[in-house]
Amino acid sequence: MALRAAVAGASGYAGGEILRLLSGHPETEIGALTGNTSAGQRLEASQPQLLPLADRVVEETTAAALAGHDVVFLALPHGHSAAVAEQLGDETLVIDCGADFRLADAADWERFYGSPHAGTWPYGLPELPGAREKLRGARRIAVPGCYPTAVSLALFPAYAAGIAEPEAVIVAASGTSGAGRSLKPHLLGSEVMGAMSPYGVGGGHRHTPEMIQNLSAVAGERVTVSFTPTLAPMSRGILATCSARATPGLTAARLREVYAEALAGEPFVRLLPEGRWPTTAAVAGSNAALLQVALDESAGRLIVISAIDNLTKGTAGGAVQSMNVALGLPEELGLSTIGVAP
Amino acid sequence: MALRAAVAGASGYAGGEILRLLSGHPETEIGALTGNTSAGQRLEASQPQLLPLADRVVEETTAAALAGHDVVFLALPHGHSAAVAEQLGDETLVIDCGADFRLADAADWERFYGSPHAGTWPYGLPELPGAREKLRGARRIAVPGCYPTAVSLALFPAYAAGIAEPEAVIVAASGTSGAGRSLKPHLLGSEVMGAMSPYGVGGGHRHTPEMIQNLSAVAGERVTVSFTPTLAPMSRGILATCSARATPGLTAARLREVYAEALAGEPFVRLLPEGRWPTTAAVAGSNAALLQVALDESAGRLIVISAIDNLTKGTAGGAVQSMNVALGLPEELGLSTIGVAP
Amino acid sequence: MALRAAVAGASGYAGGEILRLLSGHPETEIGALTGNTSAGQRLEASQPQLLPLADRVVEETTAAALAGHDVVFLALPHGHSAAVAEQLGDETLVIDCGADFRLADAADWERFYGSPHAGTWPYGLPELPGAREKLRGARRIAVPGCYPTAVSLALFPAYAAGIAEPEAVIVAASGTSGAGRSLKPHLLGSEVMGAMSPYGVGGGHRHTPEMIQNLSAVAGERVTVSFTPTLAPMSRGILATCSARATPGLTAARLREVYAEALAGEPFVRLLPEGRWPTTAAVAGSNAALLQVALDESAGRLIVISAIDNLTKGTAGGAVQSMNVALGLPEELGLSTIGVAP
Amino acid sequence: MALRAAVAGASGYAGGEILRLLSGHPETEIGALTGNTSAGQRLEASQPQLLPLADRVVEETTAAALAGHDVVFLALPHGHSAAVAEQLGDETLVIDCGADFRLADAADWERFYGSPHAGTWPYGLPELPGAREKLRGARRIAVPGCYPTAVSLALFPAYAAGIAEPEAVIVAASGTSGAGRSLKPHLLGSEVMGAMSPYGVGGGHRHTPEMIQNLSAVAGERVTVSFTPTLAPMSRGILATCSARATPGLTAARLREVYAEALAGEPFVRLLPEGRWPTTAAVAGSNAALLQVALDESAGRLIVISAIDNLTKGTAGGAVQSMNVALGLPEELGLSTIGVAP
């Protein structure tokens, strides 16, 4: 019998991608679609690409609307998930695509988000060491941020193997869908096309403590992260360029070996063959993360580059993958590593 | 037992899209992949978005390589299909994505292509009146051009109902993937971004006689077509703006009714609700064609706008849909009307 | 002594382009910059590309702020110009980039804009027959809409020479800056990139009566216009594909001759050599309009394609050009036909 | 009397930009335009945006064609400049936009370019300490690479002031015009749009030794550079994110002060006000370099971000600026800090 899944925030970009994936998932059926300003509209108004759901009507996001589902995906603005989740029973799998339950450290939360900490849920990045165990059987899941997904996948093997100094430097470019559908002047098409634009520079981006948390846990020591996000003139995709000083004696062969071993068997993370580099174009609409590594002997640094689709592996695909793990379904069910290119 | 499908021209854009769709088709398994300059390369070099096929090696396009398959898709430059098809037995379903077998009129062919006419195969646009009948059981199929797909779907209901004068005016914008992967200066990214560029103006585009053929057949009289294609700064998608003088007395309500009736039951063609307009973004990676109609009473013209993904419904999706019809499979098998947006 | 020029609406796209051009104009100095929501901000906040003006502060748009200038450019939302202009004396040259004073027919205005007609000012498209005479010495100028500029330049020679039937069919693609800086969902970068999107289809676009007015005046009879605008994934530029049935006996040579004669001596409109076609990329930041013509003998239509930069020749450049004519300055002063490409 | 300037490589992107700038330079007149594959063509075929030069014919690049000019700009593929320059007398100012004469260290040259070192010319980045003195009166100038321009401007103040550890980490995004007009598959529009793509990762990019050379000279010690270039889906612009460990005790105020002092009086480099960040969109077609700095106290690093137009300040504008210095003209002559946006 199919699992009934509801999506709160169905008219946003993350919500739309969740619905796209659920539409192709053999074990789910789509239940309530809820929204805020879009309540009362047909889904076609906000998600014209989801033809089979065109006539579905968006309801107001309330506990009543979301009740009675096996799985509830929350794609809400930060700070709204706790109140909704509280009203959903423990038998419901609640998967939060927002930030509210990602951070373990309340002080970090309060410093970066300026509101009281709601708590910490099992973290929906199955590839991290120990993560799958915590996800199995979980009924609450915090889906990682899109940047932390790209960065943690890129660097966890190095920190797990102790081949990188604990000072990571990361510059990432994201498509504009990562900023959501909010009406802000700098997100207008006329501003975005032709523009590479940094933001949150100098440690201010809210995804920074999440990266520090993930990498430090793997490294077993505090890893500092210098993170600079930039907005790129494209709709989807993140390319993260991550580097750190290599520990003494590291060779290119050993670097490659570390990554090959750490990623062996992972269905969605692929270390590319030598000579090939990840691009965002190769993962559009795909749940794959592509990685490549290099050792810059002259600068004494290892460089790892990862590419993901911020809406798929970076949000909705990661959410569905974690759902599969939590519910004991095959991890790859309803997900694909085939992108839409060119 | 799965049908074995080969793809000739596997490293091009059309070939990549055919492989993307076949990967998700429950009744096919992917056999030989052949190419010309890419022969000997791993598929990852040309199609990095097709991870599950990354290690497949492209073979030279020869009759031997393509032999022994149930279905062979040809995605070759114009003029190369006949020689290949000749060597494939009648038990093989050969689906040509090139132009060679689309035109019924040898003189048209020779005038626009400058080479001897190879023949005429059943035409792979199932939505055209009478087309499905000819496709059922066919072992040779000519997939329509991408522009003729967008335009024929937009205008056939009007001409079938006799509500449009036989002088169509069409301006269409296409993403650059429609021009294929050929190394031409005007297709460089630096040239394409920021540019709307017309080409083949004044009746010279090779898709013009194909449109005339389709619309005239439906109208039962010669329809002239003024067709202006333009290259748009995007990778995928065709937006076709089609118009003709309305026949006297046509009302907006009747126009809408004609289209609703003509398209009723079509799984892949959708007349949008009033007030909504097709965009290429809503069909990226989808096999859907979106249509909307308007009657401009002041100008005395009906306007029909259609949007398709040139690589999906316009090429590979149309090919798979026609394959399904030819083989007696459900027409929608392996195809989706869900796009990847934004 | 330099002419003091004020710009009302300095923080919008049109205002920014006016300031860019005035910065390079040898006979003007930039006076007051006014705005509405941007009042009190440094100009850098809205126009970071205008470094020499970065520290200028935007004032509130009031008659007092605009008083005491030789020229006042109005780049305001439709309906706001009349109230401002009334308070500026007749010695001030007022150049309105809005629609308020473009239409001669009050009924047309009211039908398309839904408000009382403000009046009619001399029309700032110097290339139209008779237009320069009316602009010389004028103290009020209505700058044409961007689409009517592209379309009127494309078709006036044909209608002046009587070689086209009075039923024009126009499909135009515009960059998103033509929609201004307003915060509307469909103008977000994520929506715009990858999308060709029609709007105002079927005769509803407000620029339609302006085109009819211009072409009918030249033709000496009522010209109907079927106009379909589309939004293209680029920031600047309009490509207008214009066609009409050719009058009997028209030859390609005669068509070319008509255009060569009509445009001879025009500093900003260029009929391209045979075999070359206009693109928006070639006019980015330039005041040039590029034209090419074709006769489609099979369809019996002449096709004229024009490319302009909607913000330059289509708005700010047209405004400065008209200012030059009105003030008796050389028409080309401060304007260039050199674009920024690629 | 105007200086006669020739451009070798007139049909490429750098050549086109040089011509755009020379067209607006009050002290130059444009002499010979030469090319290789474009020889014999009208300039309009390759540079349709340069209308006033449309009818100029490209000559073959020979010493005879370039003789008799006061200034010769070379925009040739690497390795071709020396042979041409040798044949031009010492009275001619030769400005090489290629790499041939940028590096002082022959071993560096040979390692990265694989050919014998041609020599070292005065370096055309006037903002570097001591550079203007060497450029004054020079008759041979090596224009910096586009990435080294962006990076050196971003980091020289920090290294000159001794506030950064000598291990720079740089990730830069460039528009595709930086790769020139060569017909390579990865530069096709269909590949580029929607794609962020790294290349030359791990120390292999040829601009790396040039950055090391510049920063080490300023720092007075060997500075290592980890440089990762990426291709962004836009035509023009470089955004360089540069960071290094801050020396102990550095404060944000001191960092800002160092930059304000180092850049005081520079006409083309602007430290933005606090809270504003450089974007490539703000410098399209402008000779400005925009900078902003941040101190990430948690990570212990200073971050400097610079934005330039790779074709203007990064190539042609830098060349003209250096020409002005060499010839004793006002440094800003013919150059502008106004961009074309949006």
Beta strands A93-96 and A71-74: pairing type?
parallel
The answer to whether residue C113 sits within a structural domain is yes
Per-residue pLDDT at A78: 87
CA distance A304 to A244: 9
Task: Find which of A222, A231, A241, A304 to mutate to test the D interface (most D CBs within 10 Å of its CB).
Answer: A241
Start-to-end CA distance of chain A, whole Å, equals 37
Distance between CA D184 and CA D164 in Å, rounded? Answer: 39
Residue in D closest to C23 by C-alpha: D338
Average pLDDT of the segment spanning C279-292: 98
CA nearest to B47 within chain D: D191
Q: pLDDT band for B78, please (50, 70, 90 cuts).
A: confident
- Cα separation, A257 vs C83, in Å, equals 73
Instruction: Provide the shortest C-alpha distance from residue A188 to chain C (in Å).
Output: 4
Name residues whose C-beta falls within 8 Å of residue B139's C-beta, 6 or more positions apart in sequence.
Answer: B90, B91, B92, B93, B94, B326
Reported confidence tier of residue D66, pLDDT bands at 50, 70, 90? very high
Q: Which two tokens stand for residue A69?
A: 């589902």
The rounded mean pLDDT for chain D is 97
- In Å, what is the CA distance from B229 to each residue of B148, B150, C238? 11, 12, 15
**Please, are residues A196 and A173 in contact by the beta-carbon 8 Å criterion?**
yes
**Closest-approach residue (CA) in chain B for D177:** B190
B49 located within any domain: yes
The CATH number that applies at residue C28 is: 3.40.50.720
Q: Which residues of D touch C235 (CB under 8 A)?
A: 342
Which secondary structure element, helix H or strand E, spans residue D322, and what is its range? helix D317-327
Alpha carbon distance B46, A342 (integer Å) = 11
The pLDDT assigned to D84 comes to: 93
User: What three-state secondary structure class fits C282?
Assistant: helix
Question: Which of D13, D176, D181, D190 is the best substitution to test chain B (most B C-beta atoms within 10 A)?
Answer: D190
Closest-CA residue of chain D to A308: D196
Contacts of B83 (CB under 8 A, 6+ apart): none
Whether residues C193 and A191 touch (CB distance < 8 A) is answered with no
Strand bridging mode C3-8 / C71-74: parallel
Distance (Å) from the alpha carbon of B340 to chain C's nearest alpha carbon:
11
Same domain flag for C244 and C292: yes
Residue D125's closest CA among D287, D340, D338?
A: D287
For an interface test with A, the pick among C183, C184, C235, C236 (most A C-beta atoms closer than 10 Å) comes out as C235
Residue closest to B287 by CA, chosen among B329, B333, B230:
B333
pLDDT surpassing 90 at residue B308? yes
Q: Is C284 within 8 Å of D49 when comparing Cβ atoms?
A: yes
Question: Is the predicted pLDDT of residue D78 greater than 90, yes or no?
Answer: no
Query: Which residues of D are marked as active site?
Result: 146
Cα atoms in the Cβ-side hemisphere of radius 13 Å centred on C316: 33
ipTM: 0.97
**Chain B residues touching residue C171 (CB < 8 angstroms):** 171, 228, 241
d(CA B85, CA B139): 11
Do B165 and B287 belong together in one domain? yes
Q: Are C19 and A196 in contact (CB under 8 A)?
A: no
Q: Phi first, then psi: what are they for C294, rounded to 5°?
A: -150, 150
- Within this chain, do residues C189 and C137 fall inside the same structural domain, yes or no? no
Contacts of A177 in chain C (CB under 8 A): 190
Quickly count: other Cβ atoms within 10 Å of residue A280's Cβ: 28
Residues C58 and C157 in one domain: no
Question: Collapsing DSSP states into helix, strand and coil, what is residue A270?
Answer: strand
What is the nearest CA distance from A85 to chain C, expressed in angstroms? 29
Residue C81 three-state SS: helix
DSSP states of B305-338: EEEE-TTIIIIIHHHHHHHHHHHTS-TTTT--SB
With contact defined as 3+ CB pairs under 8 Å, the chains touching C are A, B, D
Single out the residue of C284, A175, B177 nearest to residue D311, CA to CA: C284
Taking CB atoms and an 8 Å cutoff, what residues of chain B touch D234?
193
Do A278 and A186 share a domain, yes or no? yes
Closest chain B residue to the Cα of D232, Cα to Cα:
B189
Residue B8 pLDDT > 80: yes
How close B23 comes to chain C (CA, Å)?
A: 25
Interchain contact, C294 vs B201, CB within 8 Å: yes
pLDDT at D155: 98
Position B342 in a domain: no
Bridge partners, residue C289, by sequence? C269
CA angle B2/B7/B10 to nearest 5° reads 135
User: Quick one: which of C271, C315, C246 has its CA closest to C154?
Assistant: C271
**Does pLDDT of C231 surpass 90?**
yes
- Kindly state whether residue D335 falls inside one of the protein's structural domains: no
The arrangement of strands across the sheet holding D167-174 comes to D197-198, D224-231, D167-174, D238-245, D301-308, D289-296, D269-271
Average pLDDT over residues D91-105: 97
C195, B292: Cβ pair inside 8 Å? no
B299: domain CATH number?
Answer: 3.30.360.10
Cβ atoms within 10 Å of B133's Cβ, excluding its own: 12
Q: Which residues partner with D298 through β-bridges? A: none
pLDDT 10s digits, B31-44: 999 999 999 999 99
Chain B residue numbers with beta carbons less than 8 Å from the beta carbon of C243 are 169, 226, 228
Same domain, D135 and D243: no
Residues with pLDDT less than 50, chain A: none
What's the CA angle centered on D130, arms D129 and D134, to 5 degrees? Answer: 145
Entry field: residues in chain B: 342
Q: How far is B76 from chain A (nearest CA, A)?
A: 18
CB contact under 8 A, D277 and A202: no
Is A9 within 8 Å of A75 (Cβ atoms)? yes
Q: Are residues C51 and C161 in the same domain?
A: no
Compare CB distances from A52 to B54, B284, B338 and report the shortest one's residue: B338
The partner residue sitting opposite C190, judged by closest CB among A13, A185, A191, is A13
- Are the Cβ atoms of A284 and B44 closer than 8 angstroms? no
What 3-state DSSP class applies to A90?
coil
Chain D residues within 8 Å of chain B (Cβ atoms): 13, 175-177, 179, 181, 183-185, 187-194, 233-235
Of A176, A191, A194, the CB nearest to C190: A176
Q: Is the pLDDT of residue B105 over 80?
A: yes
pLDDT band at residue D71, thresholds of 50, 70 and 90? very high
- Whether C85 is covered by a domain: the verdict is yes
- What HEC string does C46-58 produce? CCCCEHHHCCCEC
In this predicted structure, what is the pLDDT of residue C78?
87
Residue indicated by tokens 């909307």: B292
**Tokens (6 digits) for C144:** 């044409």
Q: Does D317 score more than 90 pLDDT? A: yes
Q: Which residues of A touch C185 (CB under 8 A)?
A: 181, 183
Percent of chain B with pLDDT over 90: 98
Q: Which residues of C touch D339 (CB under 8 A)?
A: 49-51
Is residue D60 a part of any domain in this protein? Answer: yes
Active site residue C146: yes
Q: Residue A82 is which amino acid?
A: A
Within this chain, do residues B128 and B228 fall inside the same structural domain, yes or no? no
CB burial of C202-230 (b: ≥16 within 10 Å; e: otherwise) equals bbebbbbbbbbbbbbbbbeeebbbbbbbb
Question: CA-nearest residue of chain A to C180?
Answer: A190
Return the pLDDT at D286: 98
With CA atoms as reference, the chain B residue closest to C188 would be B342
pLDDT value, residue D243? 98
Chain C nearest-CA distance from A315, in A, is 16
At D340, the pLDDT band (50, 70, 90 cuts) reads very high
Query: Nearest-CA distance from D115 to chain C in Å?
Result: 31
Nearest residue of chain D to residue C234 (CA atoms): D342
Domain match, C322 and C292 both:
no
Catalytic choice (A14, A103, A118, A146)? A146
CA distance B24 to B17: 11
The shortest CB-CB distance from A340 to any of B51, B285, B290 is to B285
Task: Give contacts of C281 with chain D, Cβ < 8 Å.
Answer: 48-49
Q: Scanning every residue of chain C, which has its alpha carbon at the shortest distance from the alpha carbon of D310?
A: C342
- B337 occurs within a structural domain: no
pLDDT score of C1 more than 80: no
Structural domain count of chain C: 2
Tokens in use for C305? 């394609």
d(CA A339, CA B6): 20
Q: A-side interface with B, Cβ within 8 Å?
A: 13, 16, 20, 23-24, 42, 44-45, 47-52, 54, 177, 193-194, 235-236, 270, 272-273, 276, 279, 281-286, 288, 290, 336-342
Looking at the structure, tell me whether residues D104 and D158 fall in a common domain. Answer: no
Range of the domain at A138: 3-143+315-327
Residue B124 lies in a domain: yes
Q: In this complex, do D234 and A196 lie within 8 Å of one another by their Cβ atoms?
A: yes
Q: Taking residues B129-149, report their average pLDDT.
A: 98
Q: Are residues C214 and C247 in the same domain?
A: yes
For residue D342, whether the previous peptide bond is cis, meaning omega lies within 30 degrees of 0, is yes
Helix residue ranges, H only, chain B: 13-23, 63-66, 81-86, 106-113, 131-135, 146-161, 189-192, 208-219, 252-263, 317-327
Q: Report chain C's mean pLDDT, rounded to a whole number.
A: 97
Expressed in percent and rounded to 5, the helix, strand and coil fractions of chain D are 30, 25, 45
**Most D-contacting residue of C13, C42, C49 (CB-CB within 10 A), to test interface:** C49
C-alpha span between D192 and C257 (Å, rounded): 41
Residues 6+ apart with CB under 8 A from A9: A15, A34, A35, A36, A61, A73, A74, A75, A76, A97
* Mutate: best of C151, C177, C193, C196, partner B, most B CBs <10 A: C196
Residues A189 and A281 both lie in one domain? yes
Q: Which of A173, A236, A295 sits opposite D173 (nearest CB)?
A: A173
Strand order in the sheet with C289-296: C197-198, C224-231, C167-174, C238-245, C301-308, C289-296, C269-271
CB-CB under 8 Å, C236 with B277: no
